[in-house]
């Protein structure tokens, strides 16, 4: 999630302290603390699942990228994507998993665009698999009470 959860939590801690002051306008305090509560609730939903979500998603994207030569044939892009597909998540800190996820999702954008333009049954099959993964990625990120 961006902004990053630790950064937001640190800021919210400061905001709570500031709003403890009796000098703060009650309406401003109510608004600030109400929003803070909503954000804390979202952070709470993300806390337990974040690592599993990122590890699972990174694995799913690497599996897709491993099919780049099948879909695109040999070439510089396929080579780059295949290279990314062999990685593993050794560092399980959220920051490290998010950095790997960003690299993989950027590669997925390039792969998706190339597959759209490619011909042949492998390209169509992989295009469908990419859409399935994109749909799954939104299910992993669902927040309670979201409008969609």
Binding site for another protein (CB under 8 A): 1-3, 7-8, 11-12, 15, 25, 27-28, 30-32, 34-36, 38-39, 42, 98, 101-102, 105-106, 108-109, 112-113, 116, 131, 134-135, 137-138, 141-143, 145-148
- Which of 92/143 has CB closer to another protein? 143
Residue 131: HSE in the Cβ half-sphere, 13 Å Cα cutoff: 7
Min dist CB 39 to another protein, Å, is 6
Name the strand (E) or helix (H) holding 53. Answer: helix 26-65
Q: Taking a C-beta distance cutoff of 8 angstroms, is the pair 70, 126 a contact?
A: yes
Name the strand (E) or helix (H) holding 28. Answer: helix 26-65
- Which of 74/99 has CB closer to another protein? 99
């Amino acid at each position: 999630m961006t902004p990053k959860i630790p950064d937001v939590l640190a800021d919210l801690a400061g905001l709570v302290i500031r709003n403890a002051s009796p000098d703060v306008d009650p309406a401003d305090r109510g608004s600030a603390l109400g929003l803070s509560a909503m954000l804390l609730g979202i952070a709470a939903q993300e806390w337990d699942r974040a690592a599993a979500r990122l590890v699972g998603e990174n694995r799913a994207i690497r599996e897709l990228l491993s099919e780049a030569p099948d879909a695109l044939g040999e070439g510089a892009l396929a080579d780059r994507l295949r290279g990314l597909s062999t990685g593993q998540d050794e560092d399980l800190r959220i920051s490290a998993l998010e950095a790997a996820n960003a690299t993989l999702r950027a590669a997925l954008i390039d792969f998706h665009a190339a597959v759209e333009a490619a011909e042949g049954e492998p390209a169509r099959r992989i295009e469908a698999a990419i859409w399935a993964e994109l749909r799954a990625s939104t299910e992993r990120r669902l927040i309670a009470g979201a409008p969609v």
